[in-house]
Amino acid sequence: MDAVVKFTNQSQGRDRIFRATQYACALSIYLLRKNSEKKELVAKLKSLEAAMSAGRKLFRLGNTVNSIEAAKRTVQLSDRVLGLCLTAANINRAFYFFCDNVLWAKSVGLIRGIDKERWSLSAHRFYFFSLLMSLVRDVYVILQLMAQRSRDKHFRQKMDQHVSENPEVCDVVIPQLDAFLYLLLDSLKSQPDVAFDTLKNVCDLLIPLDRLGIYQTNAGVVGFCGLISSLIGIVTLAQPKLKIKP
């Protein structure tokens, strides 16, 4: 119970819960859209989804400054590739939150005379580039893990054992591809924080891709991906050892 209280007392924790609820509602609405007997439930879910979205915008009011401060830290990383990816991701995230804050101010009537659709598209563009740079970082880290793993004597013994125990797989699958996939999965298994972050970013990336019309899916896919990434976010916030660093 103490862990639950501590989690919900964090603004990030509340945001993750709101986000998971928002996308769970979106997924449920899509699944129930053709059921005429559930119209009242769908209306309630739409109302709850809108309330969660509005609540999340309020929680994110200070995130622009947090992202700028994060960019100042990551630009000093000794690993230049890692520093470049994370700094670019944080800068784009800062612009995304700024656009999001403007949209919130517009929705509550604090400012007028702005093109809501234009600001929304800009927000999704910055969100897209932020996620893209985060994914580049994930790929970079995974490649490093794979390189380290391939040089490990114990791993090579495991690889030889895998090949000897699964000859039928190597006959069907290209041997080099089988070895690559085995190395990739073993590397991710050794670093679950990297695996979680990669899956989260892949799921999140489909959201701006759909909103920007680059790769359009449907509300069900967006809701499902958003829910999965939100649940991963909750898990990594509750278990900091599963959160990728830096």
pLDDT for 41 equals 95
Nearest to 162 by CA among 144, 147, 145, 175: 175
pLDDT for 11 equals 72
CB neighbourhood size of 216 (10 A): 11
The type of residue at 60 is R
pLDDT classification of 166: cutoffs 50, 70, 90? low
| Residue ranges of E strands in the chain | none
Percent share of the chain, pLDDT over 90: 68
Least confident of 97-111, 157-171, 194-208: 157-171
Contact between residue 65 and residue 98 where contact means Cβ atoms under 8 Å apart: no
Q: Which residues contact 49 (CB under 8 A, 6 or more apart)?
A: 22, 25, 26, 29
Residues 77, 245: Cα–Cα separation, whole Å: 12
The upper half-sphere exposure of residue 72, i.e. CA atoms within 13 Å in the direction of its Cβ, equals: 6
pLDDT for 152 equals 80
* 160 or 122, greater pLDDT: 122
CB neighbourhood size of 71 (10 A): 19
pLDDT for 16 equals 92
Contact between residue 106 and residue 116 where contact means Cβ atoms under 8 Å apart: yes
What's the pTM? 0.89
Helix, strand, coil tally for the chain in percent (to 5): 85, 0, 15
pLDDT for 225 equals 97
Nearest to 14 by CA among 237, 208, 167: 237
Helix 80-107 crosses helix 39-59 at what angle (to 10 degrees)? Answer: 120
165 by Cβ neighbours in 10 Å (0-12 / 13-18 / 19+) ranks as exposed
Nearest to 101 by CA among 136, 65, 71: 65
CA angle centred on 122, ends 231 and 42, rounded to 5°: 45
| Tokens describing residue 203 | 């799921």
What is the residue-averaged pLDDT of the chain? 89
pLDDT for 180 equals 84
pLDDT for 59 equals 81
